[in-house]
């Protein structure tokens, strides 16, 4: 990593560092290793949940040393709000056929669990042999439904976070670390 490249000029003063780029990459390497072991021989399809999950997915697949396929789905439960509306709609459906496939759905953040529950119901209907979920960030205190997340990067408190794919009004996804907006 080029240490001469700074993002200070795009990090507002009201942002405080929560998880550094180095901590993120170290944890993703650990998750990638676990996922590779768990899916060995299965040729899984990893499904990134857009928009926020694309950065995590892009880094994660580089640490999974088995053959895999990727696809994307885009759902929305936020609109332009900071809190989930609870109403989820599919904006971009899957392209791949996941029947009889080992599937790993990759999220950026799980809070209420409603999106994961929605995706689990949606994907189960297509008949995958394995259906698991990974998230970079988990907010267990916000959970409204009982769900299982198989791979968790970090458990965090209920704070509004941005960076590393997570946005603030569609901006700041390009920050390499994760920040709390104070």
Q: Tell me whether the omega of the peptide bond preceding residue 51 falls within 30 degrees of 0, making it cis.
A: yes
Q: Are 47 and 104 in contact (CB under 8 A)?
A: yes
- Detail the DSSP E strand segments found in the chain: 15-19, 45-50, 69-76, 89-92, 102-110, 130-138, 151-155, 161-162, 178-181
Rounded to whole angstroms, the Cα distance separating 16 from 169 reads 18
Q: Which of 38, 67, 100, 111 is catalytic?
A: 111
111 as an active site residue: the answer is: yes
Residues marked as catalytic:
111
């Amino acid at each position: 990593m080029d240490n001469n490249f700074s993002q200070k000029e795009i990090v507002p003063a009201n942002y405080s560092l929560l998880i550094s780029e180095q901590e993120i990459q170290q944890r993703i390497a650990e998750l990638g290793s676990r996922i590779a072991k768990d899916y060995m021989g299965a040729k899984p399809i990893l499904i990134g949940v857009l928009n926020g999950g694309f950065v995590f997915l892009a880094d994660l697949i580089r640490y999974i040393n088995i053959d895999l396929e990727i696809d994307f789905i885009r759902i929305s439960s936020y609109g332009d709000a900071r809190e989930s509306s609870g109403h989820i709609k599919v904006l971009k459906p899957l392209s791949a056929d996941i029947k009889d496939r080992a599937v790993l759905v990759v999220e950026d953040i799980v809070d209420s669990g409603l999106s994961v529950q929605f995706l689990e119901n949606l994907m189960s209907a297509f008949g995958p042999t394995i259906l698991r979920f990974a998230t970079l960030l988990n907010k267990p205190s916000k959970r409204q439904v009982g769900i299982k997340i198989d791979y968790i990067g970090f458990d965090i408190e209920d704070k509004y976070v941005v960076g590393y794919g997570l946005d603030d009004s569609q901006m700041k996804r390009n920050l390499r670390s994760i920040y709390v907006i104070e």
